[in-house]
Amino acid sequence: MLGLCRRTEKLEGAVQISGSKNAALPILSACLLTDEKCVIRNVPDLEDVRVMFALLRKMGKTIKFEKNIAQVSGRLRSGVLPEKLVRKLRASVLVMGPVLSRLGEGSFALPGGCALGERPIDIHLGGLKAMGASYSILRGRMIFMRQALRGAHIKFSFPSVGATENLLMASSCAGGVTVIENASVEPEIGDLCLFLRAMGVGITRKGSSYTVKGRACLGGADFTVMPDRIEAGTFLLAAASVGGRVRVDSARPAHLGALLTKLRATGVKISKKGNSLTVNSPKIIKPVNIVTGHYPAFPTDLQPLWAVYMLRASGRSSIKDKIFPARFMYVDELKRLGASMVLKNAVLMINKSRLSGTNIYACDLRAAAAMIIAGLMAEGETRVYELRHLFRGYENFFIKLRKLGANVSMEKVKK
């Protein structure tokens, strides 16, 4: 499939944000910690979620999924993950902790996902080793085993989101108390903690440290996944980039502080009512620099969309990504539209640009959304190829954009 975009003068209306992909995936993984039934609501219907369902089924779980409600039941029977599925999903690494906690052994291929540069899992492995696990690598697979996972004092070298989630789950069924220091505090991790508490785990957080009191037997839970803050940010930036007035519902403003601060600094007017945000885009945009970082700093997932937005700004701006310094593969594609950008020493400099449509190729999930928004800003017609990336993380993206008045559609690629 490809995205066909034509210039749109403004976006108007309201958009409902779906459940969070980055919260749903670890919560679904945590269902492996119990044989009792779990009901997970507000699960977005995405390619990544479907792959996670397939992984859970391979391990013995039964999945029923309808109207964004996932019912997960059955026993965990196997800790051997098929390489074909693992390579499709970076979050497949999150089953390591639950599998080791429950079965004592597992076999995993290295995970896939978006190509965003080096993303080592040594922090995951170091934490699991501190809890009593050992592993070896044989024919491209990691073979794990343990006698019994036990509580440990673990201090991360840097706050890894995935390692925090993995170790929280591993310690949920481990003996004793586990303390994880210098961990990540993203809202999605908070959602996972709420789910684990609903299953019976004792978890507390103070600053960037978590204390987990494990239990040998956990129960099922009925839980509703939080809204997707990255999708909310995407639509806020879409409205600011294209122009117009858009209300973003189920936005959880408290999770978007860094983005809202930067948007207001550019001149955008934002009003808040409950969990809804309304954005009014001015005619003149001020250039504003961003540096991405761990929450609550500006999220790396929104930096490609911010880059597109700054193409409207009346001056030069810059982006430095401290999380994924290699996350600038989209730059050459935006240049094909006429974007004036210079990438030097992992810092992207952006100048006001007049865009004109052409054929471009999405290189990752968030870049795909950014390119579609750029296509709505460009004169003429823009074709965005490799939309498979987009479907991994956005539910009904084109439907939602068209509801706001965007001139966008999907077409099958002609072979």
Task: Tell whether 292 and 398 lie within a shared domain.
Answer: yes
- Same domain? 318 vs 231: yes
Same domain, 165 and 265: no
In this structure, the answer to whether residues 107 and 142 fall within a common structural domain is yes
Angle, CA 233 vertex, CA 227 and CA 238 arms, to 5°: 130
- Provide the domain count of the chain: 2
Location of structure tokens 């970082």: 293
Which residue range(s) make up the domain with 140?
Answer: 21-224
From 195, 224, 253, the end of a domain falls on 224
* Residue 351 phi, psi (nearest 5): -120, 155
Mean pLDDT, range 213-234, rounded to an integer: 97
Q: Please check whether residues 397 and 376 belong to one and the same domain.
A: yes
Please give the average per-residue pLDDT across 14-37, as a whole number: 98
* pLDDT class of 106 with cuts at 50, 70, 90: confident
Do 56 and 175 lie in a common domain? Answer: yes
| 110/67 same-domain check | yes
The answer to which of 79-88, 163-172, 353-362 has the lowest mean pLDDT is 79-88
Instruction: Average the pLDDT over 104-133 and give the result.
Output: 73
Residues 11, 33, single domain; the answer is no
Instruction: Give the span between the Cα atoms of 205 and 338, in whole angstroms.
Output: 47
Q: Write out pLDDT tens, residues 29-40.
A: 999 999 999 999
Parallel, antiparallel or unpaired: strands 408-411 and 2-6: antiparallel
**Across 166-195, average pLDDT:** 97
The most confident of 62-71, 79-88, 148-157, by mean pLDDT: 62-71
Catalytic residue among 38, 114, 193, 363: 114
Mean per-residue pLDDT, 256-262: 98
The mean of the pLDDT values for the chain is: 93
CATH of the domain at 136: 3.65.10.10
pLDDT of the residue at 56? 96
Predicted confidence (pLDDT) per residue in 381-397, tens digit: 999 999 999 999 999 99
User: To the nearest 10°, the Cα dihedral for 64, 70, 75, 78?
Assistant: 90
Residue 305 burial (10 A CB sphere; 0-12, 13-18, 19+): buried
**Residue where a domain stops, chosen among 200, 224, 248:** 224
The predicted structure's pLDDT at residue 113 = 43
Share of the chain above pLDDT 90, in %: 82
> Would you place residue 89 in the very low, low, confident or very high pLDDT band (cuts 50, 70, 90)?
confident
Full 3-state SS string of 96-137: HHHHHHHHCEEEEECCCCCCCCCCCCHHHHHHHHHCCEEEEE
Do 205 and 292 lie in a common domain?
A: no
Residue with tokens 């390489």: 83
Rounded Cα gap, residues 146 and 109, in angstroms:
18
Which residues are bridge partners to 356 per DSSP?
379
Cα dihedral 369, 358, 8, 306 sign: positive
Same domain? 14 vs 29: no
Sort 27 into a burial class: Cβ within 10 Å, 0-12 / 13-18 / 19+.
buried
pLDDT at 380: 96
Q: What is the mean pLDDT of residues 184-191?
A: 98
Identify the pLDDT of residue 118: 43
Structure tokens, 365: 């999930």
Same domain, 182 and 242: no
218: number of Cβ within 10 Å:
23
* 284-335 residue pLDDT tens: 999 999 999 999 999 999 999 999 999 999 999 999 999 988 899 999 999 9
117 pLDDT tier (thresholds 50, 70, 90): very low
Q: Is 114 a catalytic residue?
A: yes
Residue 112 has pLDDT above 80, yes or no: no
Q: Residue 111 has what pLDDT?
A: 63
pLDDT of residue 116: 38
Alpha helices in 111-215 (DSSP H): 122-130, 161-172, 187-199
| Sign of the alpha-carbon torsion through 23, 327, 397, 281 | positive
Judge whether residue 91 has pLDDT over 80: no
* Structure confidence at residue 88 as a pLDDT band (50, 70, 90): confident
Please write the tens of the pLDDT for every residue from 273-286. 999 999 999 999 99
Percent pLDDT > 70 in the chain is: 97
Q: Provide the sign of the torsion angle of the four alpha carbons 42, 44, 45, 50, taken in this order.
A: negative
Tell me what pLDDT residue 348 has. 98
The predicted pLDDT at position 415 comes to 65
**Cα–Cα distance for residue pair 189/24, rounded to 1 Å:** 10
In tens, the pLDDT along 328-381 reads 999 999 999 999 999 999 999 999 999 999 999 999 999 999 999 999 999 999
The pTM score is 0.95
Q: Mark which of 173, 203, 224 sits at the end of a domain.
A: 224
> Per-residue confidence at 414, pLDDT binned at 50, 70, 90?
confident
| Angstrom distance (rounded) from CA 150 to CA 147 | 9
Closest CA to 127 of 102, 93, 88: 93
Please count the residues of the chain.
415
Q: How large is the average pLDDT for residues 234-255?
A: 97
Residues 295, 181: one domain? no
Tens of pLDDT along 121-148?
Answer: 889 989 999 999 888 877 767 788 777 8
